[in-house]
Structure 1
Amino acid sequence: MFTTLIHKLQNDTYITLETTPGHSPQFAPTIDKIEALGLENLVDAFSTTDNPLAKLKYNALFAAKMLQERFNKPVIATMSMRDRNKIALQSDLLGANEVDVRAILALTGDPATRSDQPHSKGVFEADSSLLLEIISAFNSGMNYAGKPFVHKPKEIYPFAVINSYAKNPKTLQKKMQKKIKNGALGIITQPVYGLENAKLLLELIENAKKECCSENKSAELILGLFPITKLRTAQFLSAHVPGINVPDIWIEKLRVANTRSPEEEYKVGFELSKNLFDDLKQLHPKLHLMTANQFQLAHDILV
């Protein structure tokens, strides 16, 4: 399952769809919506988010196990450094390993100050590089302290994330180099909103691989896409989400459409997003689609 996914990532087309477990003790209804639209037939894998924005949600590892069991497709489970120390990270990896949740997206995590849980504190023993190092140790048959396991864990497949935009692109390249050096097989970008942005990121990762260590030249960039169908979404992403650049032309087109009708606003946003998806797929067919569980929108983008 996972070897096929990594082969597709490195040699073929590759499309993953993000799912966000809800504030609920049940994840099955989300899976039912995915199945009703046949989305499992349109993607190579899914991902599950880990308490995004520090808001309490259903556990990403359990959600990943349920998705894998329903669709027999690999799932990339996010693990955030915000909520776990070294002991908890390794314990979760051990439990996930036995039930074949073995593709892990290492994330530093949003600040705990944004949480909906009063007085929550972030752990943040380190950034996501620590989790990549732990995974490397597990793949060598030992824990992070260097103690061998009685039974070597099954191979874990590490993924990482990167901003899609920076005023100084060299900062992105250095971050890519660090993630590649720490073993990331796939580096997923924040949403991209233009071909030139995507081309720059592809150039940066090639430079990063040339300047980095020789043992992980197969690391691949995965372009993130978050469809925008509302003006306020475009304005929020542009003004409040670091590492994302929404072009002025998108905002202007959505602004004009917004003055006409909600239907026109959606139509214009969908066309912009769908055209971008198709263009990115032609440029670099390694894509990660994020729709905040708007699965009909995901379906319409993918078909």
Structure 2
Amino acid sequence: MSPNALIPSHRKPRRSASSRALRAGVTGGFLTLAVAGATVPANAADKPVAETQELPTITTALTADLAESADATQQVAESYERQAAQDKALSSAAKAAKKDKAKAEAEQKAAEAKKKAAEAKKKAAEAEQVRASRSADRTSLTGGDSSGSGSDASTPSTGATGSTATLLSFLRAQVGKAYISGSTGPSAYDCSGLTQTAFRQIGIELPRVSQSQSTAGTQVGLGNLQVGDILYWGSAGSAYHVGVYVGNGNFIGAQNSSTGVVERPLSYDQPTGAVRVL
């Protein structure tokens, strides 16, 4: 037996490699685990660091994509807004143009209607002059009575008495007044308005319009007229004009806007028929 066999050794026991690695890892700030005394490869400890360094790159790219997408969305929205504004402006312009066109057409039609009315008035005046001229010629040839009426036609109208005289006096007082459609006096009349107002002076109420006045009394022939008979133009029941026979082959009537209320011979405008209400 060796003399040193029972003397305890003062050397520290040897530490395993795994213990040294563990201690070194703790000292360096890293915790390295050893399983069954095996050390972790260096590349395994570096891997989490590499993966951690990749995150900022991914995040930056994603942010750029989102920003680009937002810009694209904003551009599309602005494009839609511009298009909507353009469409609204075009619509407003189209409506304004349509309105202006309608106004221009209305003004043109009004001008044309005014021109036609003036031409019609001019033609009516010319026709009136022609009829007056022909009437004067006929009167001079026939001695002043071309009516073909009965014995009363040759009797001076001044010989009328009573209600007939009142009627004639009123009618002659209206000669020269204006013709206005729908008027019944006292300053202007239309044809049926004059006859209605005249007969009202002697207590006879006539219908308002020519059509009704042409059937208001007894039908008489134009060859058998008496003072106060109502003359009509057109057919009975649908006459378009009326006047009053005043004797001597003449009548008084509100003719038209050019002549107003006049006294004319029957030849001036030969009536169609007559009715007697007196």
TM-score normalised over the length of structure 2? 0.21
| Structure number with larger C-alpha Rg | 2
TM normalised by structure 1 equals 0.19
